[in-house]
Chain A
Amino acid sequence: MPGTIDTVWTARDTTPAGIEAALRRARGDVHRENASYVPARVLNLVCVVDKAYSGEIANRLRRVGRYHPSRTIVCAVEPGREQLDAVATIAAPSEVGHGEIGLLRETVVVDVGPKHLSRLDRIVDPLVVPDLTTAVWAPHGHNEGVDSLLHLAQAVLVDSVDEADPRDALLRACKLSGEAYVVDLAWLRSTPWRERVAATFDPPKLRSDLRVLSAVTVRHHPESEAAAMLFVGWLASRLGWEVGRLTPRANGLELSAHTRRQDARVRLEPDEALQVRGLAGIVLETASGRWLSLERGPGGLRAHYRHRRGIDRTWTILGASRGEAGILGEGIRQALLRDPTYTPALRAAERMAG
């Protein structure tokens, strides 16, 4: 990883206007020092975090690599704080090749108190780069702060597996999706699974089998029930299934989905052995006798296909694990795109959660 040269400005008991002016000055200084340095202009990411855990969040952001936002504004919430303290950093690559450009990334950490949350927009507004997409991410809750920022933001990053109760998470995501584009990291965790299921049924001869899906089992990390619900919500919304509420059964959750041809049995199972958030495996069965399972494995997903005519095959679908840093980086990238299938999947998942 190439090194950076950081230009740092700090102030106690400051104002948003003071921070913004300092950033502007610092950027001018850096550019004067080396004309190859130019500010990146991709995305404003506003993070609302607990002050006590802000270091951990900073570490997570450092690891996202190439999908780093160009300006990150961290509002670190500290109990009892009355005034604003700020640290603004402009990071420049320490080496810029001849004829190349060095991209500047800007980070502003503003220490705020709980009393600032209801009008956090008044603090953040002067600090975002105008005309860029602004995304808000609040991994420690602070819904009040997020709500105050919604009119500034085009996208909100959430992680539906963060909430203890998936119902609350899905409800919150539904509410937010009415006001901004929601990028749900729990949804992104299911992307490789969705891609593979879509690919399995892509050959024209197999597409009709989507009509006769009779059972879906999704195994998930014990805390990633919401991710499993979103996966089933995706299938339901794409295939026009009617889904009811999931009910507990045999250490899992089950429901019967009404499809055009017959009912499909849906089961979600926690997998205690899975160490990372997200899905552990899925099994799809069709009334025509096909049985397909996808499991996490070394080097990709392990696929196992059976047919009642006696066919039994296994193979590996190549792909590297993205890790949590990769998922967050993907979330930041997705804030600049639009996935039309998330909201219908979310609404179906919310119906399943009841």
Chain B
Amino acid sequence: MTTTELENPLVEGLERLPVHPTTLVIFGATGDLSRRKLLPAIYNLAHEGALPERFNLVGSSRSRMSDDEFRDQARESITRFSRRQPDPTVLDALLERMRYVPGSFDDAEAYKTLDATLAGFEEEAGQPLNRCFYLSTAPEFFPVIVERLGAQRLQHHDDAEVRIVIEKPFGTTLAEAEELNHRVLRVFREQQVFRIDHYLGKETVQNLMAFRFANGLFEPVWNRNYIDNIQITAAEDIGIGTRAGYYDHAGALRDLVQNHMLQLLCHVAMEPPVHFTADEIRDEKVKVLRSIPAPAEDELERIAMRAQYAPGRVGGEDVPGYLQEEGVPPDSNTETYAALRLHIDNWRWAGVPFYLRTGKRLARKVTEIAITLKPVPHLAFQQDGSVGVRPNQLILTLQPNEGVSLSLGAKIPGSRMRIRPVNMEFLYGTTFMSQSPEAYERLILDAMRGDATLFTRNDEVEAQWRIIDPIVTRWEATPGPLPQYESGTQGPAEADALLDDGQRWRAV
């Protein structure tokens, strides 16, 4: 191969592609997400030699502290939350590259200090460095920070790339999401904006695309002709813990359905992209979302239901109900369980119901996609004495044990033709023993590299909200009390009303 201006012949065959020298700025650097996820993820990237060869980190938040105090806090967070025991020499070298800029997020002076700090790093490096601003703050500060960055002209660099990573939630209604997009895109170009949905960084979600598009076996049946219904479940066995402040404002619909579960639906339902590029994948996902009609006012009762967990026993322990949790108002009408019935109006999926449900304090923790095929058209043999022939089910489990399971009818050994369902199971863990990187490791690296494949585009976010917004609006306007389900159970019986005749929820 010859050396050309366009190609670097040395990158061929390397697993880790070079990332341009970068300074990462974390707003909200002393917050919970930064301490538990971002700083440990950055350490792990450093440990593996995956960070850019010149890397600096600037932490910023309202707390007054020195560089050294911030480093001490970062060391403590990394040591406590990293998935591996830190190597002291790497950790020391990483901490040496950290600076801290205190200030409230609307304080113009703090941005001047930040600007000077960034310039100082470039002076030291003798080259322009890419800049990646990570907004790990409360959502009300997103537009404030974006506008201050713009006012300080930090959204652009003549000789380097500038990117901004925005954490969820990206709005809590369609109007808010549109407004936030509008304010962000007045300062940054869409190509600079990386909206986080950390679910997309999980290996398990990326595996969905590999499963669908690297195997010819399933495509012929992946449509309305063969599939009866699809259930997407994200069940948790735990309650809200100490997150009452956040959760009571969000609820299950905003917390999981609007973003993560609709992403799973898109991955299941999208058409194969021509190329595996960020925009082609996101184009296909947006097409799916646009094919889902926004719920009409008069059909909301039939397609969406909510509930709250009541006291019960989980794992042999008595647990309180949602309304008895510390910090939850006794008259709260925030849902801890949400179930939806959606339809995708396109050639592939017309008439196939997609059921989405999520809940806290259910019988167990599981995230899965269950694809139920239509029953066989005719049975040539009797089924007396058997549990019967059931439609085939393909289960894609995302957690806790990532795998694929196919239920088949098999003959029970004996002289008669009796059938019972058996499972053919594949567990990723038995075949890929490597430890998956934390989602944030992948996402931080992709953002620094400028690869937006695993991030949500502006039109995608708005398309998600267009589906969810009417439900949110109705639920907020409808006072409680909500249906209750006993903790540690399968969830509310009322959710059965969403299903077609003859269908039932898969056991959690």
Given A208-B5, A210-B3, check contact A199 B52 (CB 8 Å).
yes
**A52 beta carbon closer than 8 Å to chain B:** no
Residues of B within 8 A of A201 (CB): 8, 10
Given A313-B125, A319-B48, check contact A339 B13 (CB 8 Å).
yes
B2-A38 in contact (CB<8A) = no
Closest Cβ neighbor of A302 among chain B residues: B93
Closest Cβ neighbor of A213 among chain B residues: B3
- Roughly how many angstroms separate A211 CA and B8 CA in the complex, as a whole number? 11
Minimum C-beta distance from B387 to chain A (A): 20
**A303 beta carbon closer than 8 Å to chain B:** yes
**B414 beta carbon closer than 8 Å to chain A:** no
**A311 beta carbon closer than 8 Å to chain B:** yes
- Roughly how many angstroms separate A40 CA and B431 CA in the complex, as a whole number? 6
A207-B18 in contact (CB<8A) = no
**A34 beta carbon closer than 8 Å to chain B:** no
Minimum C-beta distance from B141 to chain A (A): 30
A194-B5 in contact (CB<8A) = no
**A192 beta carbon closer than 8 Å to chain B:** yes
Given A42-B432, A207-B8, A318-B46, check contact A299 B14 (CB 8 Å).
no
Minimum C-beta distance from A1 to chain B (A): 12
A299-B90 in contact (CB<8A) = yes
**B242 beta carbon closer than 8 Å to chain A:** no
**Contact residue among A204, A211, A298, A320 (Cβ-Cβ distance under 8 Å from B47):** A320
A195-B16 in contact (CB<8A) = yes
A319-B5 in contact (CB<8A) = no
Minimum C-beta distance from B404 to chain A (A): 14
Residues of B within 8 A of A342 (CB): 13
**Contact residue among B11, B14, B15, B365 (Cβ-Cβ distance under 8 Å from A99):** B365
A101-B401 in contact (CB<8A) = yes
**Contact residue among A100, A203, A211 (Cβ-Cβ distance under 8 Å from B3):** A211
A100-B10 in contact (CB<8A) = no
- Roughly how many angstroms separate A320 CA and B45 CA in the complex, as a whole number? 10
**A164 beta carbon closer than 8 Å to chain B:** no
Closest Cβ neighbor of B87 among chain A residues: A320
Given A192-B49, A195-B14, A299-B93, check contact A42 B3 (CB 8 Å).
no
Contacts A101-B427, A207-B4, A298-B89 supplied; 15 other A-B pairs, CB < 8 Å: A40-B430, A70-B430, A100-B400, A103-B429, A103-B433, A192-B49, A199-B19, A199-B52, A202-B8, A207-B7, A208-B5, A299-B87, A300-B90, A319-B47, A319-B48
Question: What are 24 A-B contacts defined by CB distance under 8 Å?
Answer: A40-B430, A41-B430, A42-B431, A42-B432, A66-B434, A70-B430, A99-B400, A101-B401, A101-B427, A192-B49, A195-B16, A198-B18, A200-B53, A202-B18, A202-B20, A210-B3, A238-B1, A240-B1, A299-B87, A299-B94, A300-B89, A315-B125, A318-B47, A340-B13
Residues in B lying within 8 Å of A, measured CB to CB? 1-16, 18-20, 46-49, 51-55, 87, 89-94, 96-97, 124-126, 364-365, 400-401, 427, 429-435
Which A-B residue pairs are the 10 nearest by beta carbons? A319-B49, A299-B93, A341-B13, A199-B18, A198-B10, A202-B18, A318-B46, A299-B89, A298-B89, A320-B87
